[in-house]
């Protein structure tokens, strides 16, 4: 077990500085352009791939840190640069986590690298759970997976909604119902390999924020995939379904829930990075901007806002680091992963709004970044479990009961 320490080690400090430099020199200067264009920032992601920041090796390296802190530390810096481009770089990680969480070691070795490609040929991954009628309620997915014994293939049909990298990804990881009567316990995760017939992009959504990240529907129309694309394998699934049918309850987490649980501190770190970016801009501005003959920070009303902002940013970081450490060292006890994501997301919306207020009229314009940061922060209270769902998870953990 790794010691919990607030002192980052040399490796972590080095990575933190390396990501920060890329965020400052490459991401932040490009942020406004890609927000305006509302397109996937391929050239920026290619730059990230060239230095090894976008790629499965980086992901594996960060995930293997025994303290768990390498991941949130890197993500905070990335999203300090920009939320939309940060998400474009991080989006494939959700597919990789879906494969790692449910697949065998062989499946991981085969598919995770294909979610990233290489520096000369960048590829993406997409993790497809949500549907038009099933977002928070992942137990009621309508996408069906039917096994065709004659050909040893799975046939997928359905529509997935709001999928990051949906339709433009090389590898789509799809969660589907094998036995809908068993709700969440009747679901499984599948890899849809590159170029598979029947998978297409539906509408591309126009969004409030993180506009550089591509979000679209994914339509699955008689998508046939080889049996080996079932993550975890058929034997394991058959045993799980049999147990669920007999006992009525396996107690096993749903595949989608497993992925989200593992990625929660990372999502909190995204919100944290955006909030810190906005706070730093607001602090500098408050020291320089004069009104009534003095810098606006000399007014308690402004100084106290900044004091609250930095306090809440630090509180969020402590929750995230604790959750990331626990995830690697003994596991959560009271839904600490959800606490970190919930607090950091709500904090980021509040802090970025205060930043706009401190910048006044300038803050409301595109020029000073903070209005974009506010729009980018908001998604964090919605995706990968809304704030209300995080509250539900925390409430159930502390009550030891199934609060509805
Ligand atoms: C930009 C973006 C990217 C996304 N990327 C992905 C992706 O890559 N893959 C993927 O699978 N999904 C993705 N999503 C989907 C996202 O995870 C869902 O939108 C989210 O889980 C919420 O589901 P919903 O939109 O159906 O809202 P609903 O579940 O309909 O919720 C609506 C409101 O009701 C509340 N609510 C629902 N149930 C309860 C309850 N039991 N108690 C209290 N309140 C409740 C919610 O908190 C929310 O406020 C993405 C969404 C967006 C916007």
pLDDT tens digits for 47-84?
A: 999 999 999 999 999 999 999 999 999 999 999 999 99
Tokens representing 396?
A: 């159930």
Give the pLDDT confidence score for residue 404 in this predicted structure: 80
- Cα separation, 335 vs 329, in Å, equals 14
- Name the closest-CA residue to atom 2, ligand 1: 162
Give the pLDDT confidence score for residue 250 in this predicted structure: 47
- Cα separation, 123 vs 116, in Å, equals 5
Give the pLDDT confidence score for residue 232 in this predicted structure: 97
Residue ranges, the chain, pLDDT below 50: 250
- Name the closest-CA residue to atom 38, ligand 1: 136
Q: How far does the centroid of ligand 1 lie from the alpha carbon of residue 205, in Å?
A: 15
First-to-last C-alpha distance (Å) of the chain = 35
Q: To which residue do tokens 């339709």 refer?
A: 167
- Name the closest-CA residue to atom 6, ligand 1: 163
Q: How far does the centroid of ligand 1 lie from the alpha carbon of residue 37, in Å?
A: 25
Identify the CA nearest to 223 among candidates 154, 299, 305: 154
Phi, psi torsion values for 331, nearest 5 degrees: 85, 165
What would the 3-class secondary structure string for 79-115 be?
A: HHHCHHHHHHHHHHHHHHHHHHHHCCHHHHHHHCHHH
Q: What is the pTM of this model?
A: 0.96
Pocket probe for ligand 1: among 130, 160, 376, 377, the residue whose CB has the most ligand atoms within 8 Å is 130
Give the pLDDT confidence score for residue 142 in this predicted structure: 97
Contact 238, 311 (CB under 8 A): no
Of 47, 312, 353, 384, the catalytic one is 384
Ligand 1 contact via 386 beta carbon (within 6 Å): yes
The domains located in the chain, with CATH, are 10-122 (1.10.540.10), 125-247 (2.40.110.10), 255-399 (1.20.140.10)
- Name the closest-CA residue to atom 32, ligand 1: 136
Give the pLDDT confidence score for residue 403 in this predicted structure: 84
Give the pLDDT confidence score for residue 251 in this predicted structure: 52
Tell me, rounded to whole angstroms, the distance of Cα 339 from its chain centroid: 15
Q: How far does the centroid of ligand 1 lie from the alpha carbon of residue 197, in Å?
A: 28
Q: How far does the centroid of ligand 1 lie from the alpha carbon of residue 386, in Å?
A: 6
Pocket probe for ligand 1: among 213, 382, 390, 403, the residue whose CB has the most ligand atoms within 8 Å is 382
Q: Strands 144-148 and 153-164: what pairing?
A: antiparallel
Ligand 1 contact via 145 beta carbon (within 6 Å): no
Ligand 1 contact via 232 beta carbon (within 6 Å): no
Ligand 1 contact via 95 beta carbon (within 6 Å): no
Q: How far does the centroid of ligand 1 lie from the alpha carbon of residue 135, in Å?
A: 4
- Name the closest-CA residue to atom 24, ligand 1: 135
Residue 167 DSSP SS3 = coil
Q: How far does the centroid of ligand 1 lie from the alpha carbon of residue 287, in Å?
A: 39
Ligand 1 contact via 389 beta carbon (within 6 Å): yes
Q: How far does the centroid of ligand 1 lie from the alpha carbon of residue 139, in Å?
A: 13
Ligand 1 contact via 163 beta carbon (within 6 Å): yes
**Known active-site residue 384:** yes
């Amino acid at each position: 077990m790794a010691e919990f320490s607030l002192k980052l080690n040399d490796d972590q400090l080095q990575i933190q500085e390396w990501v920060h430099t890329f965020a400052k020199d490459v991401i932040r200067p490009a942020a406004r352009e890609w927000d305006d264009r509302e397109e996937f920032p391929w050239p920026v992601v290619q730059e990230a791939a060239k230095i090894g920041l976008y790629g499965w090796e980086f992901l594996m390296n960060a995930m293997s840190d025994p303290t768990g802190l390498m991941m949130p530390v890197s993500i905070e810096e990335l999203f300090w640069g920009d939320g939309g481009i940060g998400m474009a770089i991080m989006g494939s990680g959700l597919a990789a986590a879906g494969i790692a969480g449910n697949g065998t070691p062989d499946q991981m070795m085969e598919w995770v690298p294909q979610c990233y490609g290489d520096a000369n040929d960048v590829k993406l991954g997409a993790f497809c759970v949500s549907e038009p009628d099933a977002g928070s309620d992942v137990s009621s997915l309508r996408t069906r997976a039917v096994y065709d014994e004659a050909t040893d293939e799975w046939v997928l049909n359905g529509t997935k909604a709001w999928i990051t990298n949906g339709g433009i990804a090389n590898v789509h990881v799809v969660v589907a119902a094998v036995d809908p009567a068993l709700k969440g316990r009747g679901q499984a995760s599948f890899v849809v390999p590159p170029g598979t017939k029947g998978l297409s992009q539906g509408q591309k959504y126009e969004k409030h924020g993180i506009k550089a990240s591509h979000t679209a529907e994914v339509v699955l129309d008689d998508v046939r995939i080889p049996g080996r694309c079932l993550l975890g394998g058929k034997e394991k699934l058959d045993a799980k379904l049999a147990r669920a049918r007999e006992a009525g309850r396996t107690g096993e987490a749903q595949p989608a829930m497993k992925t989200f649980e593992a990625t929660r501190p990372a999502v909190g770190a995204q919100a944290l990075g955006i909030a810190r970016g906005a706070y730093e801009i607001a602090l500098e501005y408050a020291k320089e901007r004069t009104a009534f003959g003095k810098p606006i920070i000399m007014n308690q009303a402004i100084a106290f806002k900044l004091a609250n902002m930095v306090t809440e940013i630090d509180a969020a970081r402590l929750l995230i680091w604790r959750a990331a450490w626990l995830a690697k060292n003994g596991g959560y006890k009271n839904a600490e992963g959800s606490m970190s994501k919930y607090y950091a997301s709500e904090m980021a919306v509040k802090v970025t709004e205060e930043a706009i207020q401190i910048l006044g009229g300038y803050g409301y314009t595109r020029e000073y970044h903070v209005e974009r940061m506010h729009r980018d922060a908001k998604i964090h209270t919605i995706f990968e479990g809304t704030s209300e769902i995080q509250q539900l998870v925390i409430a159930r953990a502390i009550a030891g009961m199934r609060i509805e």
